[in-house]
Amino acid sequence: MAAPKVALVTGGAGFIGSHVVDRLIAKGYQVAAVDSLVIGRKENLHPKATLYQADIRSPDLREIFAKVKPSYVFHLAAQASVIRSVKEPGMDTDVNVLGTINLLEQCRAFAIERFIYSSTGGALYGEPERLPCGESHPIRPLSPYGASKYAAEVFVRLYGDLHGLKHTILRYSNVYGPRQDPEGEAGVVAIFTRRLLAREDALIFGDGTQQRDFVYVADVAEANMKALAQKKNDSFNIGTGKGASVNQVAKELVRLTGTKNPPKHAPARKGEVYKIWLDARKAKRGLGWSAKVGLSEGLKRTVDYFRA
């Protein structure tokens, strides 16, 4: 019997990365997770995965690749806070661009079979000219985060052209679900859920009519699995194709948590898109993927997780 293929997941102890690790292990892969544990947590990681605590910018990455010998690399490690990127654009670029280049260099040196890059759709296109927003929409990010994630995309494609690196780029809408970190600048669903369950005030920045495409984390993990079977280099939006307002999400979370304390409003924040949802029809054609978990069911699962 042939030995199982090895997958390396950066950010593997993080929110989305740990779900990707779970799916890989369920499919029989050996998994190495690279995570700095600045945001990621050991308790998120499947016990069958091997953890290497390292920053993606570190020269230690070469030693890890030499030891692990991965066939596939899933790149999910990132500085993912829009607000922090506005305050610290240099740091954001250092992690998201230079960190990705360091990783791509190891992929080139060790001749991996496929590189699957987790990018952003929600922060990439800017304020949409048309909705839903397709992959051919102009790229006009409103934040350093969106700009750095796109710059990394450019380098992924460059390594494909220069070095024959086979790759798939997945552009996520607003991902939510179990294990999302409710501290700091995490996603609105995790922040609201934690605060509402604790009977604390939840804040909506702006009037709450801003709309997002909320996609459940299990669906995103499945998109990563579908990307393994890709034969050509391509980019895909990963979203539901539908918008939901922050007010709508907050109202549903108030109902699910049983709180009597509805969210309060605060001034809108810079760098955030007002209204966006993604056209994911290309992913259905090219990956055989579409979102399966509806917003109501996904929010219920998320509340159940945080409550437990």
CB 113 within 8 A of CB 167: no
CB 175 within 8 A of CB 16: yes
CB 21 within 8 A of CB 58: no
Sequence-separated contacts (24+) of 253-259 with Cβ below 8 Å: 253/189, 253/192, 253/193, 253/196, 253/299, 253/303, 254/196, 256/299, 256/300, 256/303, 257/193, 257/196, 257/197, 257/303, 257/307, 259/196, 259/197, 259/199
Crossing angle of the two packed helices 188-197 and 246-257, in degrees rounded to 10: 30
- DSSP states along 176-201: E-TT---STT--HHHHHHHHHHTT--
Q: Is 145 assigned a catalytic role?
A: yes
Pair of tokens at residue 168 = 């798939």
Q: Which of 145, 150, 159, 176 is catalytic?
A: 145
Q: How far apart are CA 294 and CA 296, in angstroms?
A: 6
Provide the H-helix boundaries in the chain.
Answer: 15-26, 60-68, 82-87, 89-93, 99-109, 144-163, 188-197, 217-227, 246-257, 281-286, 295-307
Q: How far apart are CA 278 and CA 120, in angstroms?
A: 11
Q: How far apart are CA 247 and CA 253, in angstroms?
A: 10
Amino acid at 14: G
Q: Coil, strand or helix: which one is 204?
A: strand
Q: How far apart are CA 171 and CA 169, in angstroms?
A: 6
Active site residues: 145
